[in-house]
Amino acid sequence: MTKETELVNYEHIDRDISWLNFNYRVLQESKDPSVPLLERLKFLAIYSSNLGEFFRIRVAHHRNLKKLGKNTKSQLDYNPNILLKQLYKIANKHLLEFNDIFENEIIPELRNHNIYLLSHREISKAQEQFLEIYFQENLLPFVQPVLLVRNKVKPFLNNSELYLTIILKDKEAEIKGDQYGIVKIPSDHLPRFIILPSEKKRFDVILLDEIVRYSLKWLFPGFDVIHSYSIKITRDAELYIEDEFSGDLMEKIKKSLIKRNIGPASRLVYDEAMPKEMLNYFLNLLEIHMGDLTPEGRYHNNFDFIHFPDFGKKELKNKPLKPISYKPFDDPELMFENIRKSEHLLCFPYHSYEPVIQFFEYAAKDPDVTQIKITQYRVAKHSRIMDALKLAASEGKSVFVFIEVKARFDEAANLAWGEEMEKQGVKVRYSFPGLKVHAKTALISRRENDEIQQYVYLSTGNFHEQTAKVYVDYGFFTCDEALTTEVSRFFGFLENIKLPTQPFRHLLIGQFNLNEEIHQLIAYEIEQAKAGKKAKIILKLNNLQDTEIIDLLYHASQSGVQIQLIIRGICCMVVGKDPISKTVKGISIIDRYLEHSRIYYFYHGGEEKLYLSSADWMVRNLHFRIETAFPIYNPDLKKIILDNIEYQLKDNVKARSIHYNSMNKYITPKSKKKFQSQIEIHKYFRERTDTHGKKE
């Protein structure tokens, strides 16, 4: 960074406040009447899931800093206590809106379509008989009612599990006053939604929570059930590994995983209708501070609403966008030949993910393939790619897999995959101390005409067959020697932990040249703008948080560089504010697919440098992760990406402003014609297939 930029005290938005702004954009989708009803319910579920993880990770982090006291505060550039109050205030305000949307919009709309989500007080006689049988045959083995005796019984509440707290009265009046009980709602064993017998053309469904409520009279014999209220605890999900650089890191991770679900509570979620006296009782019982409360409605763990039954009502869901077949890869046996002829770019989920899977499946069986190398960060539970790698090893091929165990919430799954791969003869290397390997790369070596030909697959997203159906990512196939040589060098580093002897000139690799090259590319645009020449930067990221780079972008804006941002999540830059960022424009798109690809574009004096990447511009990605950004040189493929960017910048249906004075406002159409980028991009790829066929 230049001295000029270091001297300027630029503004930044707190990353967690910015994240709450992002999650509110998800909530906005749930109240958009143009979104099909069951999709609106799905967005409520996603919002709820996101918020739960936020409290387990970010809020827990700030709470831990707060506990450390004044000495730590003096070393921080913010006050954790003040920030926590702000975060709770914003989150609780959003949750009030969440409850209003659910109760006053979603529920009535469901009823308009003859779908009734019933409480236990609304069921018919026939449904009562159904619930009594359900209780005996399904529920009874999993419920353990606990009568709380003051200062004697202190239950442990599992992380994110649902519980009912109950007000009881002794029928025999042996114990005077209200008694409290607690019972777990066993949604970890039973489905959350149970379809009830109902009248013709009517669809009745009940939550498992309500069945437990109905069953309380049997669970607490000798007591009258006065009322019940749901609660849940969110626990700190961080793995506290004091020293990653000594001892067995994998063993430390395994031990930390055992402790994760018994970590300290970061919040208590409760039914806001709960009486104050009862709430105070449970605060004391569970050792929760008043500042760590999150009021919600009658139900929690609303992510489960993603599994709400659709009763075959297709009109209440998005019309499916069928994944497009990529003609050049229709025959897996011709994939290598077609990659030799030209480079190929796929965009998921618009394109089918099948070619990526078949790339590995065919390589596993091809007798000419000698080596397969791949990085894995998050993997599908049932992964054909991982199965192909095991098959390749059993066929005698050399297979190397770098598995990043520290992928949050996938640690146990990744450890299990690693152990399974090792049993099949795959060479596996795990996490580096102090770093995460987040790169999405694969290299296949094949014997052709007595020489070894290398093929590379690079992507912005994980090798994950399931998320590829809903995450927007690019996948790039090439055998360009300039790139295959550098990818081979990259895998040499991962496999042998030896620093490359030659620099990377094409790939941008985290821990080597990624951060430095990004700074230089921005600096070049600044020089061009100061010389009175055209200067332009377009960034499509999940998150923009690194303050060094943000300050450099501020300097670029003040120098006259035109900057376009498409940021899905966190944006710590104050966008569009004169004088610091007057030439910066920014949008965020939340739609049916999760925008996951990272694209860096620099006009670069007309050369138009374009990179696809696994890396967001966050401190963690640029300084504590091994990432890849790969250049797109092919003009035809470059045009596809730039066309897609142009479509997103034209979006006037799902695009929200991230400008400092119009945060989360929908982009107002400049014409009457609506333009929804994800729908239009699907048409774009479909038309390319129809027009070009096998020439695509």
Residue 46 falls in which region: left (phi positive, over 0), alpha (psi -120 to 50) or beta: alpha
Give whole-number Cα distances, 80 to 20, 43, 506, in Å: 16, 30, 42
Say how far apart CA 162 and CA 301 lie, in whole Å. Answer: 7
SS3 content of the chain, % helix, strand, coil (to 5): 40, 25, 35
Q: Are 113 and 153 in contact (CB under 8 A)?
A: no
Say how far apart CA 35 and CA 22 lie, in whole Å. Answer: 18
Q: Are 529 and 549 in contact (CB under 8 A)?
A: no
Length of the chain: 696
- Residue whose tokens read 């790139």: 483
Dihedral Cα 111, 116, 119, 121, nearest 10 deg? 90
Residue 94 among the catalytic residues: no
Which one of the listed residues 300, 351, 438, 555 is annotated catalytic?
Answer: 438
Say how far apart CA 321 and CA 264 lie, in whole Å. Answer: 43
b/e burial code for range 546-565 (CB count within 10 A of at least 16 → b): bebbbbbbbbbbbbbbbbbb
DSSP class of residue 571 equals B
DSSP 338-362: HHHH--EEEEETTB-SHHHHHHHHH
**In 170-207, which residue ranges form alpha helices assigned H by DSSP?**
none
Is it true that the peptide bond before 635 is cis, omega within 30 degrees of 0?
no
**In 113-147, which residue ranges form alpha helices assigned H by DSSP?**
125-134
Six-digit token string for 616:
């967001």
Roughly what angle, to the nearest 10 degrees, separates helices 80-101 and 37-54?
160
The alpha carbon of residue 526 and the mean position of all alpha carbons in its chain are separated, in whole angstroms, by: 34
Say how far apart CA 143 and CA 135 lie, in whole Å. Answer: 10
Question: CB neighbours of 5 closer than 8 A, spacing ≥ 6?
Answer: 551, 552, 554, 555
Give the number of other CB atoms < 10 A from CB of residue 517: 18
What's the burial of 453, exposed, middle or buried (CB within 10 Å: 0-12/13-18/19+)? middle
Q: For residue 346, report the phi and psi dihedrals to the nearest 5 degrees.
A: -115, 150
Q: Are 566 and 584 in contact (CB under 8 A)?
A: no
Q: Are 118 and 199 in contact (CB under 8 A)?
A: no
Per DSSP, which regions of 483-616 are E strands?
Answer: 508-509, 536-541, 562-567, 584-589, 594-595, 598-602, 609-613
Q: For residue 661, report the phi and psi dihedrals to the nearest 5 degrees.
A: -105, 10
Roughly what angle, to the nearest 10 degrees, separates helices 411-423 and 384-394?
20
Say how far apart CA 269 and CA 160 lie, in whole Å. Answer: 9
Q: Are 555 and 573 in contact (CB under 8 A)?
A: no
Say how far apart CA 314 and CA 653 lie, in whole Å. Answer: 22
* Bridging pattern class, strands 536-541 and 598-602: antiparallel
Catalytic residues: 438
